[in-house]
Amino acid sequence: MRSALLRAAASAVAAAVVAPLSASAAQAAPPDRPRHSTVGESTPAGSEQAASWGQIIEAVGTAYSIYKKYSDDGGMTLEEATTQILGAIDGAKSEIIAHIDAVAVAEIRACAKTAVLNYADIGSMSPDTKQAFALSTTSCAVRAETLIGTVSDQAAIDQLGFAMNAVGPVALMARTHAGFSTAELAATLVDGSEATMERLATDCTFDWQVDDNPNHYYIVYITCTAYNGDKGHTTVWRRWVSGPEPTIPSQLYASAVEDALVNTSYELAKTARQVLLS
């Protein structure tokens, strides 16, 4: 048995495609270690955390989708888009606010919470107030995006990535109401989402089950661990004839990376990126 430790970047590209194994290596994964994640979901706290993230991803993803549909001339008025986004946010508002309250950077925590709470009143704001709101929410999202690229602590990156995308749809709609352009902000949100995905790296171990297989194809058990201790697992078959341990392409264990990151802002960033680039 041989094992190695690799710092694996959870990039959008690696997470998007899982390449097939070669025909000569295609065998069913052994039943004792199928793909799965171990994120504490057997406990009430773990289940509640997973459910909370699911509600947030659905709400923010829906808000981004409504904005995108409106901005792409999807057959709805500004008022309809505003109301639908408000409905999406309200569906998970307590969960969103709870996660914002956990953000350690005080300025981001304050501006993100203010943006989410004030969005409900955007329809009754004066033109000057709408412009001020657009500028403040834009500043909040851009500041969070900037910090994602500069801080080193993964917990902080996780929190900032969440805050940026919680504010993102609000800032885009606020700019729309104010008559401001949105293309550059949308691009910034994509950049910040990609940075979040890349910087929430996981530690992955590769456990080769080397035996007397004459074709030198072996089972490799892969376990990826996120900064918060959550783990994702997968199994692949790879060939190792001789020499140093072969590198396993990251797309083959992208599922384990994503499973390990299920209770982080990784999936939210992935959703935001996909919608904004669609």
C-alpha distances out from residue 232 to 183, 223, 246, Å: 36, 6, 21
- Which pLDDT does position 198 carry in this prediction? 95
Decide if 209 contacts 189 (C-beta within 8 A). Answer: no
Q: How confident is the model at residue 15 (pLDDT cuts 50, 70, 90)?
A: very low
- Which pLDDT does position 234 carry in this prediction? 96
Q: How confident is the model at residue 49 (pLDDT cuts 50, 70, 90)?
A: low
Decide if 71 contacts 122 (C-beta within 8 A). Answer: no
Enter the pTM of the model.
Answer: 0.80
Q: What does the alpha-carbon distance between residue 83 and residue 174 come to, in Å, rounded to a whole number?
A: 13
| Residue range 69-109, pLDDT digits in tens | 999 987 899 999 999 999 999 999 999 999 999 999 999 99
Sorted by sequence, the CB contacts under 8 Å of residue 231 that are 6+ apart come out as 37, 38, 39, 223, 224, 225, 259, 260
Cα three-residue angle 61-67-73, rounded to 5 degrees: 135
| Residue range 177-212, pLDDT digits in tens | 999 999 999 999 999 999 999 999 899 999 999 999
Q: What is the DSSP letter of 219?
A: E
Does 45 have pLDDT greater than 60?
no
Copy the structure tokens of residue 256: 């384990």
| Residue range 204-231, pLDDT digits in tens | 999 999 999 899 999 999 999 999 999 9
Q: How confident is the model at residue 48 (pLDDT cuts 50, 70, 90)?
A: low
- Which pLDDT does position 8 carry in this prediction? 41
* Packed helices 183-199 and 266-277: angle between N→C axes, nearest 10 degrees: 150
- Which pLDDT does position 108 carry in this prediction? 97
| Residue range 118-130, pLDDT digits in tens | 999 999 999 999 9
Phi, psi of 204 (to 5 degrees): -120, 135
Does 244 have pLDDT greater than 80?
yes
